[in-house]
Amino acid sequence: MSRPEDPDRTAPPGNRPAPATDRENPGHHPAPASRAVELRHLRAFLAVAEEGNVTRAAAHLGLTQPAVSRTLAALERHLGLRLVDRSTHHLALTPEGVAFRDKAAAAVAAFDEALDTGRLRHWPLRLGHAWSAFGPYTTPLLRAWRARHPATPLELLRIDDRTAGLTRGEVDAALLRGPVHAPGLVTEVLFTEGRVAAVTADGPLGSRTSLRLADLVDGPVVLNTVSGITTPELWPPDARPAATLTVANTDDWLAAIAAGRGSGVSAASTAAIHPHPGVAYVPLDDAPGVPVLLAHRDGPGHPALPKLAALAREIVARG
């Protein structure tokens, strides 16, 4: 009877890995190093990275905790790197693990997509964004694309991530704002938009027609540290906010401001795409503009990417 805790026995027969050493199987010659890592290793690592806990990762994968632990350890041995810090109950990725996570996710996503026969027949172009899409040009872009390229659906996906899922292989291209330092991306600046302050609608700043950065420093500033672009460095070193409040997504950012817990700064298009009855958006007179970028991964990608870039430029030029 097979043991469910053994990941090698839970794999389909054609995917079972060879024994790791000749000592374990004297008559067997190990597979070349390039074949030592399989998708199951990457899936196990990504599950641990997502859950922060081996037990929950095992439940997500339908395996046992020992099986996931052994699979993760085998991956680390092959790479010669420690990917996960096991010194605390809540596992955390090492710097090497953080760097490897995006590569592993992209590899798994590419494999799954290659085997998705539905996508092969009707391959959509996935366009990610973190919060404000293409600003005022979003609707014109979607309508023009549908009219000109009806055989290739354009899927607009909001993903709360600094690269809107691009580095993890979740999208084919992304609309990003501000400087992007992720390796392996090709970016093009499409336009620059102004910044606005987001303040509590019935607060003392809500009725102002314009504001300056200095007007926000006395109270907490709410920062979206996952997908936002605002940091304390937006203010001069000697005039930074007295306090900050960090959140992980746009919805929590809006809720905190509406509740009077602080103010925020965002790109001007946020006002149109994310209106909130408890939040007033007020132009900032002295804040630098925000570049809006079209980004894709370096190397082969979706064949419709050049058409997307050309259409985006055309729509911006038309205004």
Say which CATH number the domain at 101 has. Answer: 1.10.10.10
Structure tokens at 173: 């291209």
Residue 77: name the closest of 106, 36, 121 by CA: 36
To the question of pTM greater than 0.95 for the whole model, the response is no
Half-sphere exposure of 53 (CA within 13 A, CB side): 7
Classify residue 135: in a domain, yes or no: yes
Three-point CA angle 39, 40, 46, nearest 5° = 90
Q: 164 — alpha (psi -120 to 50), left (phi > 0) or beta?
A: left
**CATH at residue 131:** 3.40.190.10
Query: What is the residue range of 123's domain?
Result: 117-192+291-318
Q: How many residues does the chain have?
A: 319
Q: What contacts 146, CB < 8 A, 6 or more positions away?
A: 154
Assess whether 188 and 303 both reside in one domain: yes
Classify residue 2: in a domain, yes or no: no
Cα(91)–Cα(55) distance, rounded to whole angstroms? 11
Dihedral, CA atoms, 5, 11, 17, 20, nearest 10 degrees?
0
Give the model's pLDDT for residue 86.
81
Assess whether 166 and 303 both reside in one domain: yes
Spans of the chain below 70 pLDDT? 1-35, 88-90, 113-122
Classify residue 58: in a domain, yes or no: yes
Domain boundary among 114, 146, 161: 114
Give the model's pLDDT for residue 267.
95
Assess whether 132 and 104 both reside in one domain: no
Q: What contacts 308, CB < 8 A, 6 or more positions away?
A: 125, 127, 145, 154, 173, 294
Assess whether 47 and 87 both reside in one domain: yes
Residue 175: name the closest of 195, 196, 190 by CA: 190
Assess whether 219 and 178 both reside in one domain: no
Three-point CA angle 100, 104, 108, nearest 5° = 175
Assess whether 210 and 281 both reside in one domain: yes
Cβ atoms 226, 249 nearer than 8 A: yes
Give the model's pLDDT for residue 118.
54
Assess whether 270 and 140 both reside in one domain: no
Assess whether 184 and 299 both reside in one domain: yes
Classify residue 1: in a domain, yes or no: no
Assess whether 161 and 271 both reside in one domain: no
Assess whether 83 and 126 both reside in one domain: no
Domain boundary among 114, 133, 161: 114
Structure tokens at 151: 């055989």
Assess whether 151 and 244 both reside in one domain: no
Cα(271)–Cα(220) distance, rounded to whole angstroms? 20
Please state the domain count of the chain. Answer: 3
Assess whether 68 and 184 both reside in one domain: no
